[in-house]
Structure 1
Amino acid sequence: MRMVDSEGEGPPPHYELKQNYLVNDSDKQFNILFINDGFNAHIMYISEVEALTGFRYCNICHKQTFRIGDINLQQSMRNHMKKCQKNVGKIVKKVILEKFAKPFVPHILSNMTYKYLLANNFTHLFKPTRYYITYDIETLEKKVNEKFGDSSQVTATLIPYAIESTVKLACGIHSFYYDIRTEDFLDKWLEQVFEETKQVKKDNKYIDETITQYYEVLVIGFNSAKIDASILFKNLKSKD
């Protein structure tokens, strides 16, 4: 027995198969339509399921559906029914494994240095990133109250007025600071940051040059929201 539920509002109505019951081990199909508008419920007998739902059902498992308007309907049904006959009408799900197993180890595969050391049995040489740069940008809120279209309005924008960075190197820790008293202070800060990264990169390098290494330098925003960091993007325009 199939129970089909009506869904959606307005023409054309849409029907989906909700329940499929096997009564007394009988293969005979008895189809009913269940309609519920929230207050009243109606159950009606369905004489032609395909005409009502727009789908053709497998004659063996009575669960797999095929859209009648599909140009590959006959081929899809033949392919499914061959498998369905072998499985005696049961849907069998199989996990197809790759020929060579690939372990899910993102902490290894995403780190080229650790992957190289593991492959060559040198994991004892692995070292974490010890040297980096941090920054903290300070902003003021400027009210603008600008409208964009009928439903969008910007009430305020953020204006940077100071930025400070701390650099951790093998030789020690030092800081530098810029604010609005310096002309184009964000550009000056970026120039110094890129200059500092040269030494940070050297300090993070492995002594053995044959080891595959990352050459990225971490510049970490300290106590800075994403909206603060976006202020710096427009200043990343130097060709250097």
Structure 2
Amino acid sequence: MQRFSTAPSVDLCISGCNALAIASIQHKLLVNQNIYFYDEDSKAYYQANKQALAGLKFCPFCKVKGFDIKSSNYSRDYEGHIVKCEQRGGKVVKTIKLDQVQKPHCPHIRQYKTFAYLLAHGREQEFKLTQYCITYDLETVEKIVNKSFGKSSKQISELVPLSVASTIKNKTGVNTIYQDIRNEDYFIKQWLQKVFEEIIIVQQDNLYRTLTGVIDKAMQYNVDVPVIGFNSS
């Protein structure tokens, strides 16, 4: 591998046949309208026009800020920037842009639609925590397989599902689901079907209701049903 220094501050790595190809270039080669590669004194040089590559007009002072030349506000934005940039000597100055309307920093309210809705309607005393959920515990047993994958990879064992137990807490109380390998080989599928049936009930029980017991459809409540798994050690 040979490394050729390029200007400005660009390295061009060339290997084997590519090095011979570059060395044979004796004149300027036009790649496109604004990018050229040429060889002088066994050195490879690079020259490019950033405006043609990016489709942007860059500030001649800071050389960082770019403007879309196809934008209808291009002239206004470009001229306004270069006047200020020239006064600063091309230095990039970071500024803080505030919103036109001041907003309080309260992510615990703004990111929680339910509490934000209750607060906006003066009903924050009705706020409640998520009461009902589902838990599960999956037991497995190790099975020795000793499978080889290629020359250097080998799988010694794999985990086989043995049993699974779930606890469902809803308005009617606490219910349990238990399935194991003694029932059928696809007991995991049967367990999942029962869990999804219980999820519908738990979701309905977690919804907000009016004083008459009817589900409050105007309430902004979109919290998923908590399904908590336990890892046996």
Report the Cα offset of residue 107 of structure 1.
Answer: 3.2
Q: Judging changes above 3 Å, is the alpha-carbon distance between structure 1 residues 211 and 153 closer, same or farther for their aligned structure 2 residues? A: same
Worse-superposed segment, 107-116 or 127-136: 107-116
Deviation of residue 79 (structure 1)?
A: 6.0
Deviates more, 1:175-184 or 1:209-218: 209-218
Residues 1:80 and 1:88: Cα distance change in structure 2 (over 3 Å): closer
> Is the 8 Å Cα contact of residues 179 and 191 (structure 2) preserved in structure 1?
yes
AA aligned opposite 2:60: R
Q: Calculate the aligned-residue CA RMSD, in Å.
A: 3.1
Match of 1:11 in 2: 3
- With 198-207 and 159-168 compared, the bigger mean Cα shift is at 198-207
Using the TM superposition, give the Cα deviation of residue 87 of structure 1 relative to its aligned residue in structure 2, in angstroms: 1.2
CA distance in 2, matches of 1:164, 1:97: 53
Cα offset, 1:161, TM superposition: 0.7
Partner of residue 202, structure 2: 200
Query: One-letter code of the match for 1:216?
Result: D
Tell me, which stretches of 5 or more residues in structure 2 are unaligned?
Answer: 11-45, 64-81, 211-215
Equivalences for residues 51-130 of structure 1 within 5 A: 51=7, 53=9, 69-72=48-51, 75-78=57-60, 80=62, 82=82, 83-101=84-102, 105-130=106-131
Q: Does 1:219 align with 2:211?
A: no
Equivalent position SS for 2:60: helix
TM-score computed with the length of structure 2 as normaliser = 0.60
TM superposition shift of 1:102: 5.2
Count of equivalent residues: 169
- Structure 1 stretch displaced more, 214-223 or 177-186: 214-223
CA distance in 1, matches of 2:207, 2:90: 62
Which residue type is aligned with residue 87 of structure 1?
Answer: R
Report the alpha carbon displacement of residue 96 of structure 1 after superposing the two structures with TM.
2.6
Percentage of identical aligned residues: 38
Where in structure 1 are there 5+ consecutive unaligned residues? 1-8, 15-50, 55-66, 226-240
Q: In terms of mean alpha carbon deviation, does 125-134 or 106-115 score higher?
A: 106-115
The alignment's TM-score, normalised by the length of structure 1, stands at 0.59
Map Cα deviations across residues 176-222 of structure 1 (whole Å, 9 max, x no partner).
21111111211221122122223212321111312122262211112
Query: Which stretch of the first structure deviates more once superposed, 175-184 or 117-126?
Result: 117-126
Q: Which amino acid aligns with 2:165?
A: E
The alpha-carbon distance between structure 1 residues 185 and 213, as it changes in their structure 2 partners (threshold 3 A), is: same
Assess if the C-alpha contact under 8 Å between 2:61 and 2:90 holds in 1. no
